[in-house]
Amino acid sequence: MDYIPILTLVLSFIVLLSIGTPVAWSIAISSLLTLLVSIPTMPALTTVAQRIGSGLDSFALLAIPFFILSGELMNKGGIAHRLIAFAKTLVGSLPGGLALINIISAMLMGAIAGSALASASAMGGILGPEMEKEGYSREFGAAVNITSATTGLLIPPSNILIVYSLASGGASIAALFLAGYIPGILTGIFLMIIASIWAKKKGYQLGERSSLKSVFKTFLIAVPSLFMLVVVIGGIVSGIFTATEASAIAVFYSLILGFVYKEISLKKLPQILLDSSATTAVVMLLIGASMCMSWALSYESIPQDISTALLALSDNKIVVLIIINLLLLFVGIFMDITPSVLIFTPIFLPVVTKMGIDPVHFGIMMILNLCIGLCTPPVGSVLFVGVGVAKTSIEKVVKPLLPLFIAMIIALFLITYFPNISLWLPKLFQVL
């Protein structure tokens, strides 16, 4: 086993990140340095440029800019207010009612918009001041918002599930979308239990019980927003259209909805398009650079070496999954979810498939694991958005975050060792 390419890759990547180089450039430069170990300068430079370009040459990736745009349209289109009103009638009277409303609304918003950042921004901006007014601490409200926002990365439509499908070499997007529902909901339920216990312990006041009439009324108002799930997921699962076509339909539907709700106007559209374009550019550069690194890893046989080393440690499925989960939890602290999925899927997937683990199940496990990293410093993007919206500091949010992290880790443990939690729906709809 040649350790020089691995050491070159790891050390150069760490050094580049530590001196403040943007993640995408750190990935691309460390990939180039790794290739320079084995091949001359000009072929290495040409290969890096070519692999960044060819890494983006995928029909499935067209879904990402469309879903980003639809998420931006929904975020600005008044959907969050209607989802919060519906969630309030369901759980507003329970202990920690406003925290539970935040979690359910984030699950619904994430499921519709497919973006953890959009969910954290929308829910934090609307519910944060309400929670503070009702006596909830600002830090507790931020912690609930930060962790619950990540459930939308599991509940489809989700861009990161599309990225995993690409990195895995062909895991079905329809199967991944269906597989994300139960784990996403389960994670949300665990967060709700912890939030409710915390709120009861702190003595936060209960809200008023809603009548069936008000539940029905708010549901009817939220139906147009919720119906997008039926259109997008139903169309993909039934085979009427692909995930890419579904993303374009989502843009059209959310645009119409924004005009119907009178929250979006022609005047606002240029800024919405500009914001979604900026987000798309960042994501696509990360994907291109990460695909280049994946190729460099493969060229140097690093995944095979790591696979051999892991299986040499143990051939016990439980032990190997514990090691992989611990490594991913560590990776998630220092790296954003998109490059993590693109880089580590080709490394770990061959190991788990040798042990008979379904790629769809592993994908859901991996994404939930990395979702925890989005809520942790120093690079947790959802953490920074949640803290910024709540106008507090990371140091103050850490304490209420810890029990919510435990809830997410319990959900991760169950999903890791009980694969049917992920695979039941794909098997039911026969899309595996």
Give domain limits for the chain.
59-284+301-428
Residue 208 has a pLDDT of 67
pLDDT of residue 423: 96
Separation CA 194–CA 404 (nearest Å):
6
Instruction: Collect all residues with Cβ–Cβ distance below 8 Å to 188 and sequence separation of at least 6.
Output: 103, 104, 106, 107, 148, 151
pLDDT tens per residue, range 142-160 = 999 999 989 988 988 888 9
Specify the DSSP element, H or E, that contains 423.
helix 420-428
DSSP assignment string, 299-328: HTTHHHHHHHHHHHH---HHHHHHHHHHHH
pLDDT per position as a tens digit, 186-236: 999 999 999 989 888 877 766 667 778 888 888 888 888 888 778 888 888
Give DSSP secondary structure letters for 122-182.
HHHHHHHHHHHHTT--HHHHHHHHHHHHGGGGTSSS-HHHHHHHHHTTS--HHHHHHHHHH
**Model confidence over 286-319: pLDDT tens digits?**
888 888 888 888 887 777 777 778 878 888 889 9
Contact 92, 207 (CB under 8 A): yes
For the stretch 315-335, pLDDT in tens is 888 999 999 999 999 888 878
Categorize the per-residue pLDDT at 428 as very low, low, confident or very high, splitting at 50, 70 and 90: very high
Amino acid at 9: L
Percent of the chain's residues with pLDDT above 90: 26
Q: What is the pLDDT of residue 185?
A: 94
Sign of CA dihedral 106, 107, 109, 114: positive
pLDDT of residue 146: 92
Nearest 5°: the CA angle 167, 411, 348 is: 30
Tokens of 117: 């950042």
Could you read off the pLDDT of 65-114 as tens digits, one per residue?
888 888 788 777 777 778 778 888 887 677 778 888 889 888 877 666 66
